[in-house]
Structure 1
Amino acid sequence: MAHPMSSQPHAAMSALTLANEIKTLFSLPEAVFKLGQLLNSPYVTNGEIGEVIISDPALTARVLQLANSGLMDSPAKIETVSGAIALIGREALRNLLVATTVTNRFQGIPPELIDMERFWLNSVACGVIARSLAFRCRVFDSEPLFVAGLLHKVGRLALYSGRADLYRQVLAQHDSSEEGLNQAEFSVFGFTHAELGAELLRLWGLPERLQAAVAFYLAPSLAPCYRKSAALIHVASALASNIEPSVSPDEALYGENVCFEKGAWNLLGLPLYVIPPILDEAWIQAFEIFEILRPNPV
């Protein structure tokens, strides 16, 4: 899926080549892989899915934590994997497990390139805000938007991991803005992290809607399909840019990094006054969910 900035014929193939390389280097756990295969069958039972999850204690703990987090809004405590499957749903469970497992796959990235905890907190906040915006847009299957938000910059981790030396050229070229960093990525690689991220989502078997939301989140008006999903991630990414422990909600709302396209906001059809309460909600949920997904130290 070509990114809107891609004007060079070789760019998509280069992104695909690197995505395949990264997929090989940072493979998903066996239990998550088997779960994806099971869910491709219409005849699989919840019991069979539960057996795969229970075979991996870390995965079991994560499923129960997700089921009992603010992400699911469960009215009662979920104590069994079968209860978690029933609450979350099969497709949503697969998407969430793939996405949340990724947080622990990218290890060993040079610290001068990225602060991993800050990166994942920002990504979680983007997912939380995208889900909240989607609900207000009456997009009620909002779980995929959380996953897309969580993974919207995973392509940047892939570039850090697979092409660290080249990415230092990107950092040397770019100005202080996010837009400048995206332009520098395209100048050096011929594609941006958004296109590479979409290729990774495709290789991991995540739905086309999520691939499109990530591929076109930098320029949602150019998306050939799932334009509103791309706009949701675009706006959520901008709003999440300042959510971190040292920043207050008011600073996050009015910080200099909060900048989204007017056209993207218009696609959502929402009034601007919904933004402050969304940020207030995100402040609580993002830190809660981040504690569940926090990458383990190497």
Structure 2
Amino acid sequence: MATAMFQKLRLSANKTTLPTRKDSILPPPGGPPNAASFLGLPPELRNAIYECLARETTLNLALTKRRSKRPHPISGLLLVNKQIHGEFRPLLLASARISIPVADFDFGTVIRALEAIPEDDRRALAANHRFYLTLFMAHAPKQSDLEGLAAWLGYRAEAEQPKDATAPTSEQVPLHALRFRYNAKIDPARSMVSRRNMRVALLTALIRKIAALGGHKNHTVEKRRMMRDLYRCKDELMGVERRADGELEREIALTASTIDSPFFGFQYVPQYR
């Protein structure tokens, strides 16, 4: 199941088809590329085209235990032929917006999938600055949710630890080289309370619960990144625009310093329809 994370991006040799039109931009099967073909363009131009397409592409990779009856959409350029697939795939994984949904704060599936990523794909993903983990929640964080969050942050913190300099070096890209950003999808149950206020309240509760994990002195790189990204999600919900990152960092520090306060928690005023 974990190895299927990028299965839909793979090219099957027996499914490779080439256009038969005489005015095709591709060379004839088995023939060398000509000047009028896409593969006849200089590599620099092809890479520029690949990068433009990759930046406009969004990949939603659902890690489910069951095989979906509805196949995930595949970027059509990957299906042209093996050469274009081999050239475009690394740039796609390095530049596209990639989102992996995380339901019920179960990061176990994500971890297993990450550890099964082929080395070439991992190298490309390590350069991607738009690699998101999207947290889905419909209620205030439960104890099981916090355990899942703590396990994920502990996994990432262990990966961030410096390795022994005397240990033999490896050519493989380590998992901690992958940089994740975080997004949140809040879908509260129907109630008399304003849904917008409820979303803000649930997201605030999640941020403060994350701040409380391990105490305010235990702020790992991944924990701060998660809080920073979730604060940006909250600002977007509230229509707040921060002019400087320093303001956001001060609010994160304030949240961390008040987790032991008797007033710690979230409150909102119900707005009845």
TM over 0.5: no
Which is helix-richer, 1 or 2? 1
Q: TM-score, length-normalised on structure 2? A: 0.24
Greater relative contact order (CA < 8 Å, ≥ 6 in sequence) = 1
Q: TM-score, length-normalised on structure 1? A: 0.23
Which is strand-richer, 1 or 2? 2
